[in-house]
Structure 1
Amino acid sequence: MIRFASLQSRMTALYLAAFGLVMLLVAVSMQWAIASSAEDKVRSELESSSKVIDRIWSMRTQELQSVAGPLALDFGFREAVASDDTATIRSALGNIASRIDLPNAFIVKYDGSVVGMRPEQDSSYNEELWDRLDSGWHSGALRIGDTTYQAVAAEIRAPGLIGWLVLGRKLDAGEMRDISRLSAIPVSVSVVRRTEAGRWVYDRDGRPVADRNLAALLARLEEIGAASGQTSQRMGGTMVLARALGESDGVATTAMMLDFSIDDALAEYDGLRLAVLLSGLLGLLVMAFASASLARRIVRPIVALEKAAQALERGEARSLPVLSSDEIGKLTGSFNAMAEEIVTRETRIRHMAYHDGLTDLPNRARLREEIDHRLAALEGGGSEPFALLFLDLDNFKITNDTLGHRVGDQLLKLVARRLVELDDRTFVARTGGDEFCLIVAGQDVRLRAAQIAAMAIEQVNEPASVEGHFLRAAVSIGSSEAPEDSTSAEDLIKHADLALHAAKAAGRGRYRRFTADLDTNAHKRRSIEVDLHNAVKNGEFELYFQPLFNLAKNRFSAFEALIRWNHPKKGLVSPVDFIPVAEDTGLIVPIGEWVLKEACRQAATWPEDIRVAVNFSTVQFAQSGLVNMVFQTLATSGLAPDRLEIEITESLFLENTGSVREVLHGLKNVGVRIALDDFGTGFSSLSYLRKFPFDKIKIDRSFIIELLQEDEAGAVVKAITDLAAALHMETTAEGVEEPEQVEALRAFGCTTLQGYLFSKPIPASEAAKLVNGEAAAELRA
């Protein structure tokens, strides 16, 4: 199948094909009409020639009859025939033949004998000839010997019938030529005859008529009878007409065939056919030109539409002039409207893709583009050094959780406006949640970045009324510089993020610039994270226990379980190093579950009056099923619920206090004791002690260390112990290292003491000895 590269060529080819088909149909129709006309004309001409030949045949027959009749009536001739006067007969026949140039003349006596012009023509009897004469035959084609004649017969009576006079003219090739010359068209004339066997043969040489079509034509001549005279038929490129010349019993026995070439007749139409061909070719050329012009005119606006669509695909807006009101014009108008809508939508989508939906600031993707652009310009020497400042709102989650997301969103919009107003040259983006980013450029970029950071901290911290709430936001900022810190976008972002985390760790509401040690610490933290996964899988953790001394009972009454990590290469790793990483990665959940199970298992082997305390992380409290996990652990270990003490810190209450209260009450329902650890150092609130079911308050070691040096520290400790007693709670003092501290705490009414004065954290095996009184002396500090 032919494929076209363009619509224009396809349309041109279609028009040409249609015109060519029409011209072909016209040519075929004309050829058929010419052929039909030529065939009809040839048949008509042959019929006309047949009539002329028939007329000539009749005239010659009359000529022969005009001679034969008078001679047959001549008295002397009849006497000669009656008396068998052969000499007289021959003389009379010879005179007649010479007078009209007859090749043959003879008489047939009634007895069947024949007397001719010459003695060799005589014969005793010709039965076939006698039968035909006796049946009344008087003219037509007559076969005498090996020759066919146009002959006539006249009866000889004296007075009765005594014979017949027969005159004949040969129907040979010369006669046929003479006859054909008399036709208006150049016909070919031949004579055929029917043999006794019923087959037709050529009279000239006796060859059988082998052509089936000719044989069928002669057979049809036999069927229609000699009286009807003639029939015609087309045979290939020739028209043939057969005319009966002689008959026997009404059936043609001799026939003349006239044939004329139809191709010769068609030759006169060659000029017309050539004219039609030339006209068709000329018309095809004209049509090709017209088709190409029309197709070009139709396709031109379509091509323009295609180019405009390609430009639109590349993001280029292009409008086409509407030059007509037809379908193409309407299509062009529709395309212009569609293109305008697409450009508008693409612009909107691109804006949405590169801008934050809430604040309309550039988003993280746009920030990355800007960083890459500035780094490329910096590398080419066409840009100033710049600093990347990462900002994170402090305690924004509390605002969202307590006042709702609507207030939180409005606060984010307010912060975004304040950051944009800091400096016209600063690029401001929101990278997600409560995080923003600033790009500050300049020759003295470090100083400028510090100034912008200070302005940001100050401006963001300005109080504002949001949705009827008086709010004061705070922000921590970390920065990295290009090209000093890195010329890689990934590294700049990572370094600024590390500096931000360092600022938060330093107390929030601070600015911290990236330094190399932050990267070192980050790598160390990453290494710890990787090793922690292996530690959980390989069981590298071990529990140590630090005893709690009961002042009233004057003995150890409980142990705090403390985790230790036996690293295969680094040895013991401090919890200070790996617990924060475990909390950030979520590994604290499986680690904390292991600690609880192991602590309960160990405590179940101790005396029933000895409790065990286990620290729980805020991350663990965020997991569903915590109460059920504790219950299952107690049931599996066989430890009584009141012998387990769960320690939590005040930071837990910065999360959802409703869910925390629900979990704590669930644990209390199980029978587990709850202790508030490090009381007095965080966001201490008396409402916590009233709302939550605490059994114990653990006083932070910072107060115990200063107990003997500062009166204020003693006053705080005294206040805490009095408050706990009023709320029916126990108190534990952490970090006791001196005997004098013991006496002071005893005087304040403290319940239990914990510190190196009594024992450092010891392995589980040593703890078992201690509760059994086997190693008390050795373990005292």
Structure 2
Amino acid sequence: MGRFRSLQSRITALYSATFGLVMILVAIGIQFAIAHSAEDKVRSELNSSAEVINRIWSMRGQELESFARPLALDFGFREAVATDDDETIRTALRNIASRIDLPNAFVVKYDGRVVGMRPELDARYNGALWDELDSGWQSGALRLNGVTFQAVAAEIKAPALIGWLVLGRKLDTDEMQQLSALSAIPVSASIVRRSESGQWIYDATSHAITDKAVAGALLRMSASAVKHPEGIAERMDGKMVLVRPLGTFGGAATTGLLLDFSIADALAEYDLLRLTVLFAGALGLLLVAYASSRIARHIVRPISALEKATRLLAKGEWTTVPVASEDEIGALSSSFNAMSAGIAQREKRIRHMAYHDALTDLPNRLQLAEKFDELLGAIESTEGGLAVLCLDIDNFKIINDTLGHQVGDKLLKIAADRLRAAAAGHFVARTGGDEFCVLVVGPRVETAGELAAVLIDRLNQPMTIEGHLLKAGVSIGISRAPLDSMVADDLLKHADLAMYAAKAAGRGRYRFFTTDLDEEAQQRRAIEMALHDAIANGEFELYFQPLFDLKSNRFSAFEALIRWNRPGQGLVSPQDFIGVAEETGLIVPIGEWVLKEACRIAATWPADVSVAVNFSTVQFETPGLKNQVFQALATSGLAPSRLEIEITESLFLESSGQVLETLHSLKQVGARIALDDFGTGFSSLSYLRRFPFDKIKIDRSFIMELLKTREANAVVKAITDLAAALNMETTAEGVEDAEQVEALRAHGCTNVQGFLFSRPIPAGEVVALIQACATRYAA
């Protein structure tokens, strides 16, 4: 089957097989026609030969009869028969035999005695011969003394029947050959007779006829000898056979003529025609195969070109095929070229999309990774250098959330264009969100720093987007290869750490990676892993710091402060782990525990003492916060009005409008909302307008300067007056001496908090502190 895998070979084989099949059918038809024609011809010729032989037979019979009848009517001959004058009879018989060359002539007398030409031939015939003659037999084949003759019989009357004159011509092989020679075709003639056992045998040899078909035909001929004296002609085993009765007895043939002729001999004359047809068919097949191959090659050549081009296209190699015709193949080639061009364009587009950021059209992380491999490989071979600058736009989340994603996207596009222009000649990529990366090949440390300063200055330039005047700064972290690492992921991680350090240092600046940053990151990672264990093992506990009411001179509330009782290290301050908890999201389960535990403990305090719980921005971004508060209140039995929820301004800066909805729902339940660290943000007054807080907590930075500067004193006074006007309470944080308390009382501040009254204490000491305060001020 392998040789027919090609389309050309299959087309050639198909056409050749079709032609060959047609030629075979034609040959079969011709052969059938020849065979049928030959059979008809042989049958016709055989019948003609039989007719000729029959006429010769009849003529010879008539000849014998023409001699027999006059002799049988001759007076002298009849007198000799009647008077038993055997010598006269023999003389007459010899005379007539010599004239017509008869081998046998005799007289069968009425008494059954036979008188022949010679005395030694005389013999008494059996009764069957007499019965045959007596029944009217006059001519035919006659068996005498083991020899078959063509014989005729004439009655001898004087006037009554006194005998029969029988003249016989011997039927032997020579006679049959002479008769066969008279035929137009080389027919084989034989005398057959029925033996005494009823079996048909050849007369010349006395051999039985073993051919069942011939024997059957002889039986049918014998049975219908009277009705069909012309005989029966049939085809048998590749030859045509005719059997004809010669002698009958009792209406059945006893002797017959068997003529046969080989049909193969008849077909031999058509051998030339058959050879001609065979030769013409073979030649035609070769011509068809050659023509089919040429046609197939003409068809397949452009298809092969298309197939080859398709394989190249599958490998990603753009290619075209020549259009050599205007037929279907040419149209297919044109369509393929159009498809190939389209695929090439789409592949180019897809590859561009795969390697570029859709928004800014800068290279993306995938292309950055490949560029890293290329540049780091070059560094290894050339001992060059590489600086990685990771950039993050400052305050992007605030702009994106407050002004919308459309403004944020346009800001990113402008930032990308400025980076592309300022870092011309260097590889610039967007790595995600508001983060970008610049690769600088072979720089000195100073060069990387100089480029970072240029980028910071360029991105710090104001921009106007949809009517908003924006100033988006950028913080940059720098790592270097091979100084810091030769691994791309490590270089990016180091640059990120340096960038976060730059943000922590005040934003709008750059910082190089140092090993201590990595150590800090490792420490933060260790804290993160330890926090997981702390949550699982219950290593946290709450401390409480009181809030003193300046009007009633009592402790009106306690702020819940978490402590981590880390095994082997003792109590860990929130400043050391809360930041990590917020970055990793662990603040959510920690905050949930703080809320439930604070409510549970506060429920054991006097009914006029509240508990304040700080909530992180991350907690507000978690679905289900409202349900957590409801569940904590319901489980502990704490009145909602005794729960103060403290939030910072960063919650508004970094969150969406969903925050206001959550705060309103909590306030409707009855919980109090306090704004912590007021005065340190950028738009505090707008927050007070957007949400009616119950309390404002004045940041400790103002309290520390309260007695030292007029400005701080004026700010505190302004805040207290503003809160009073809005019907809000105020709490001053970080109070450490009595003079601060009096100044705050004079400004109308309602609550104070600080070390002056108490440091944070364990939950078990709260009740005692409340009682001590009540006793002190009661006196």
Q: Same fold (TM over 0.5)?
A: yes
Per-residue CA deviations over 1:262-315 (Å, capped at 9, x if unaligned) read: 223333444443444344334333333332222222111011111222222233
Q: Is the CA contact (8 Å cut-off) linking 2:730 and 2:750 kept in structure 1?
A: yes
Look up the equivalent residue of 1:761 and give its one-letter code.
Answer: P
Q: Is the CA contact (8 Å cut-off) linking 2:3 and 2:9 kept in structure 1?
A: no
Q: TM-score, structure 2 length as denominator? A: 0.92
Return 734-743 or 606-615, whichever deviates more: 734-743
3-state secondary structure, aligned to 2:485: coil
The equivalent residue for 1:416 is: 416
Q: Equivalents in 2 of 1:449, 1:191: separation in Å?
A: 130
3-state secondary structure, aligned to 1:509: coil
The equivalent residue for 1:13 is: 13
Per-residue CA deviations over 1:33-81 (Å, capped at 9, x if unaligned) read: 3323332333333233323322332333233223323322332221110
Q: Is the CA contact (8 Å cut-off) linking 1:668 and 1:693 kept in structure 2?
A: no
Return 199-208 or 315-324, whichever deviates more: 199-208
Alignment of 1:372-387 (within 5 A): 372-381=373-382, 384-387=384-387
Q: Equivalents in 2 of 1:91, 1:122: separation in Å?
A: 14
3-state secondary structure, aligned to 1:428: strand
Q: Is the CA contact (8 Å cut-off) linking 1:664 and 1:693 kept in structure 2?
A: no
Q: Equivalents in 1 of 2:451, 2:460: separation in Å?
A: 14
Look up the equivalent residue of 1:232 and give its one-letter code.
Answer: A
- What is the deviation of 1:337? 1.5
Alignment of 1:289-688 (within 5 A): 289-381=290-382, 384-444=384-444, 446-568=445-567, 570-656=569-655, 658-683=657-682, 685-688=684-687
RMSD: 2.9
3-state secondary structure, aligned to 1:155: strand
2:156 paired with 1:156 = yes
Alignment of 1:62-77 (within 5 A): 62-77=62-77
Q: Is the CA contact (8 Å cut-off) linking 2:555 and 2:773 kept in structure 1?
A: no
Q: Equivalents in 2 of 1:122, 1:572: separation in Å?
A: 165
Q: Is the CA contact (8 Å cut-off) linking 1:665 and 1:693 kept in structure 2?
A: no
Per-residue CA deviations over 1:100-159 (Å, capped at 9, x if unaligned) read: 443332212234443334556555664432333234322111233543221011221223
The equivalent residue for 1:237 is: 238
Per-residue CA deviations over 1:490-542 (Å, capped at 9, x if unaligned) read: 22222222222222222222222222222222222223223333333333322
Q: Equivalents in 2 of 1:540, 1:324: separation in Å?
A: 85
3-state secondary structure, aligned to 1:591: helix
3-state secondary structure, aligned to 1:380: helix
- What is the deviation of 1:658? 4.0
Q: Equivalents in 1 of 2:23, 2:381: separation in Å?
A: 72
Look up the equivalent residue of 2:243 and give its one-letter code.
Answer: A
Q: Is the CA contact (8 Å cut-off) linking 1:104 and 1:117 kept in structure 2?
A: yes
Q: Equivalents in 2 of 1:217, 1:572: separation in Å?
A: 131
- What is the deviation of 1:634? 1.0
3-state secondary structure, aligned to 2:507: coil
Q: Equivalents in 2 of 1:250, 1:290: separation in Å?
A: 70
Across the two proteins, how many residue pairs are aligned to each other?
775
Look up the equivalent residue of 1:543 and give its one-letter code.
Answer: L
Q: Equivalents in 2 of 1:168, 1:775: separation in Å?
A: 178
Per-residue CA deviations over 1:661-707 (Å, capped at 9, x if unaligned) read: 33223222212122221222233522333442222222222233344
Per-residue CA deviations over 1:324-344 (Å, capped at 9, x if unaligned) read: 111111111111122122212
Q: TM-score, structure 1 length as denominator? A: 0.92
Q: Is the CA contact (8 Å cut-off) linking 1:428 and 1:437 kept in structure 2?
A: yes
3-state secondary structure, aligned to 1:737: coil
Identity fraction in percent: 68
Look up the equivalent residue of 1:582 and give its one-letter code.
Answer: A
Q: Is the CA contact (8 Å cut-off) linking 1:440 and 1:448 kept in structure 2?
A: no
Per-residue CA deviations over 1:200-249 (Å, capped at 9, x if unaligned) read: 44334555544332133224434654454132211122221112212346
Look up the equivalent residue of 1:326 and give its one-letter code.
Answer: D
Q: Equivalents in 2 of 1:114, 1:300: separation in Å?
A: 100
Structure 1 unaligned blocks of 5 or more: none
The equivalent residue for 1:214 is: 214
Q: Is the CA contact (8 Å cut-off) linking 2:678 and 2:684 kept in structure 1?
A: no
Q: Is the CA contact (8 Å cut-off) linking 1:195 and 1:201 kept in structure 2?
A: yes
Look up the equivalent residue of 1:402 and give its one-letter code.
Answer: T
CA change 1:776–1:102 in 2 (3 A) is: farther
The equivalent residue for 2:261 is: 260
- What is the deviation of 1:561? 1.0
Look up the equivalent residue of 1:495 and give its one-letter code.
Answer: H
Q: Equivalents in 1 of 2:657, 2:269: separation in Å?
A: 116
Q: Equivalents in 2 of 1:190, 1:526: separation in Å?
A: 124
Q: Is the CA contact (8 Å cut-off) linking 2:12 and 2:289 kept in structure 1?
A: yes
Q: Is the CA contact (8 Å cut-off) linking 1:241 and 1:257 kept in structure 2?
A: yes
Q: Is the CA contact (8 Å cut-off) linking 2:229 and 2:244 kept in structure 1?
A: no
Look up the equivalent residue of 1:229 and give its one-letter code.
Answer: E
Q: Equivalents in 2 of 1:752, 1:734: separation in Å?
A: 9
Structure 2 unaligned blocks of 5 or more: none
Q: Is the CA contact (8 Å cut-off) linking 2:192 and 2:256 kept in structure 1?
A: yes
3-state secondary structure, aligned to 2:366: helix
3-state secondary structure, aligned to 2:51: helix
Q: Is the CA contact (8 Å cut-off) linking 1:97 and 1:104 kept in structure 2?
A: yes
3-state secondary structure, aligned to 2:511: strand
Q: Is the CA contact (8 Å cut-off) linking 2:423 and 2:455 kept in structure 1?
A: no
CA change 1:384–1:775 in 2 (3 A) is: farther
Q: Equivalents in 2 of 1:509, 1:49: separation in Å?
A: 131
Look up the equivalent residue of 2:546 and give its one-letter code.
Answer: P
Return 84-93 or 74-83, whichever deviates more: 84-93
- What is the deviation of 1:753? 3.1
